[in-house]
Amino acid sequence: MLESTNKSTAINSIVEAVIDTSCIKSNLAAEKLASSSVNRWSVAEIVALFELPFSDLMYQAQTVHRLHFDPNAVQVSTLLSIKTGGCSEDCGYCPQAARYHTEVESEPLMRLEDVLTAAQEAKDNGASRFCMGAAWRGPKQRDLEPVLKMIAEVKAMGLETCATLGMLKEGQAEQLKDAGLDYYNHNLDTAPEFYGEVITTRTYQDRLETLDRVRDADINVCAGGIIGMGESRNQRAGLLAQLANMERPPESVPINLLTQVEGTPLHGTEELDLIEFVRTIAAARITMPSSYVRLSAGRQSMHEGIQALCFLAGANSIFYGEKLLTTGNPDAVTDKNLFAKLGINQAGVSQV
Ligand code: SF4
């Protein structure tokens, strides 16, 4: 107990040092910032953040947030499934895996015109980024060609572009970059030691290699995970440590709450307490102060009070629209009403 109290106090000091601008020029915070070791978080340190009294955690997360972002602005992305279902992988949460019997019907790659119509709608609804998702293990070259056209045309409409197409082979990230891709999403999903409980058809290392390819091609990295899959708090902290300790943490960090879909292996998993979810958002904000932390899948099951706590904890990006690939999402009107209640500005996110 004493050890954990000491640990908590130590974490408080680190966070306070980092957030106290008056001491940035001197002491520990300056050293951590100068040496980039501000990004070096041990799992134990992140667990200690989770264990802080809720008000202290929220205060620290909000303070870090205000140092890096406009606190009343939330970036809005729209996600479109451009190729649905029939995936060869076995991700235990995913209704698009061909091997699970779910209500998702396989659909071929969408036509370019239909993608552009959806992108225009997203833009009209205030989205600044348009994400295109395809249920593949990874794109074959013949799959990639039409997607490159989609990216180029969506970019020409004045939207930021994002794609999530699975694992990338050598050279593919460069092609995506040349087409105008701004962000590539590839989630780590969970901590390395829990990963094998969820997915067996690709390794953690495969995922890290794809993220390296994206980074090397100078595309912004979008990588996060899914919470509530039966992992422990240590493993939630382990996921955040993986992300925060990357040489450059992802620019965008989606934190998903497991959406349980009947027919998938994770259906029936014990529900996560939503305060623990808010704590995860806060810990992500503190450990990755300059990243956009995205409140992603699972929002449809959250009361607006919990969503408000997530924004207070430092979430500053959401997916907008009725569907997230294949699962539900609050509709645009509901989101607009919530933003109005909270005084959130969806257009003007800026980093400070
Ligand atoms: S999460 Fe992606 S890779 Fe995994 S089964 Fe679903 S579509 Fe396939």
Q: What are phi and psi of 347, to 5 degrees?
A: -95, -30
In a domain, residue 122? The reply is yes
Cα 171 → chain centroid: 25
Q: What are phi and psi of 35, to 5 degrees?
A: -95, 5
Report which of residues 66 and 79 the model is more confident about: 66
Q: What is the pLDDT of residue 331?
A: 74
Active site residues: 87, 91, 94, 131, 162, 222, 294
For the Cβ of 154 lying below 6 angstroms from any atom of ligand 1, the answer is: no
For the Cβ of 210 lying below 6 angstroms from any atom of ligand 1, the answer is: no
| Tally of domains within the chain | 2
For the Cβ of 96 lying below 6 angstroms from any atom of ligand 1, the answer is: yes
Give whichever of 2-6, 201-205, 335-339 has the largest mean pLDDT.
201-205
Using CA atoms, how far apart are residues 209 and 9, in angstroms rounded to an integer? 36
**Atom 4, ligand 1: residue with shortest CA distance:** 91
Average the pLDDT over 111-115 and give the result: 96
Q: Residue 303: give its domain's CATH number.
A: 3.20.20.70
Q: Are residues 8 and 128 in the same domain?
A: no
Q: Are residues 26 and 138 in the same domain?
A: no
Q: Are residues 29 and 88 in the same domain?
A: no
Q: Are residues 194 and 327 in the same domain?
A: yes
Helix ranges restricted to H, 167-325: 172-179, 192-195, 204-216, 233-244, 274-287, 304-312
Is the pLDDT assigned to residue 351 strictly greater than 80? Answer: no
Q: What is the pLDDT of residue 299?
A: 85
Look up the pTM and report it: 0.86
- Residue 106: how many other CB atoms lie within 10 Å: 12
In a domain, residue 191? The reply is yes
Q: What is the pLDDT of residue 227?
A: 97
CA of 166 to the centre of ligand 1 (A): 8
Given the CA of residue 166, which atom of ligand 1 is nearest to it? 3
Q: Give the per-residue SS3 of 98-160.
A: CCCCCCCCCECCCCHHHHHHHHHHHHHCCCCEEEEEECCCCCCHHHHHHHHHHHHHHHHCCCE
Q: What is the pLDDT of residues 281-327, one digit of tens each?
A: 999 999 999 999 999 888 888 899 999 999 999 999 988 765 545 55
Q: Which of 79, 84, 90, 91 to mutate to test the pocket of ligand 1 (most atoms within 8 A of CB)?
A: 91
In a domain, residue 69? The reply is no
Q: Are residues 196 and 317 in the same domain?
A: yes
Report which of residues 274 and 13 the model is more confident about: 274
Length of the chain: 352
- Owning domain of residue 94: 75-342
Q: Are residues 247 and 131 in the same domain?
A: yes
Residue 274 DSSP SS3? helix
For the Cβ of 166 lying below 6 angstroms from any atom of ligand 1, the answer is: yes
In a domain, residue 271? The reply is yes
Q: Are residues 9 and 123 in the same domain?
A: no
Using CA atoms, how far apart are residues 50 and 29, in angstroms rounded to an integer? 21
Is the pLDDT assigned to residue 328 strictly greater than 60? Answer: no
Burial class (CB in 10 A: 0-12, 13-18, 19+), 264: buried
Report which of residues 189 and 346 the model is more confident about: 189
For the Cβ of 288 lying below 6 angstroms from any atom of ligand 1, the answer is: no
In a domain, residue 52? The reply is no
Q: Are residues 212 and 134 in the same domain?
A: yes
Using CA atoms, how far apart are residues 237 and 240, in angstroms rounded to an integer? 5
Q: In the structure encoding, which two tokens stand for residue 13, read together?
A: 């000091």
pLDDT band at 5 (very low <50, low <70, confident <90, very high): very low
Q: Are residues 18 and 148 in the same domain?
A: no
Q: Are residues 161 and 13 in the same domain?
A: no
Q: Are residues 184 and 247 in the same domain?
A: yes
Is the pLDDT assigned to residue 17 strictly greater than 60? Answer: no
Q: What is the pLDDT of residue 237?
A: 98
Given the CA of residue 199, which atom of ligand 1 is nearest to it? 4
The DSSP secondary-structure symbol of 52 reads: S
Q: What is the pLDDT of residues 196-251, one digit of tens each?
A: 999 999 999 999 999 999 999 999 999 999 999 999 999 999 999 999 999 999 99
CA of 76 to the centre of ligand 1 (A): 23
Identify the weakest region by mean pLDDT among 42-51, 53-62, 101-110, 143-152: 101-110
Q: What is the pLDDT of residue 16?
A: 54
Amino acid at 305: G
CA of 36 to the centre of ligand 1 (A): 34
Q: Are residues 35 and 82 in the same domain?
A: no
Using CA atoms, how far apart are residues 265 and 251, in angstroms rounded to an integer? 31
Q: What is the pLDDT of residue 31?
A: 43
In a domain, residue 160? The reply is yes
In a domain, residue 48? The reply is no
Given the CA of residue 202, which atom of ligand 1 is nearest to it? 3
Average the pLDDT over 156-162 and give the result: 94
Amino acid at 295: L
In a domain, residue 49? The reply is no
Residue 347 DSSP SS3? coil
Using CA atoms, how far apart are residues 181 and 176, in angstroms rounded to an integer? 6
Q: What is the pLDDT of residue 27?
A: 36
- Residue 174: how many other CB atoms lie within 10 Å: 15
CB 163 within 8 A of CB 210: no
Average the pLDDT over 146-172 and give the result: 96
Average the pLDDT over 70-98 and give the result: 92
Instruction: Identify the CA nearest to 222 among candidates 294, 170, 171.
Output: 294
CA of 174 to the centre of ligand 1 (A): 23
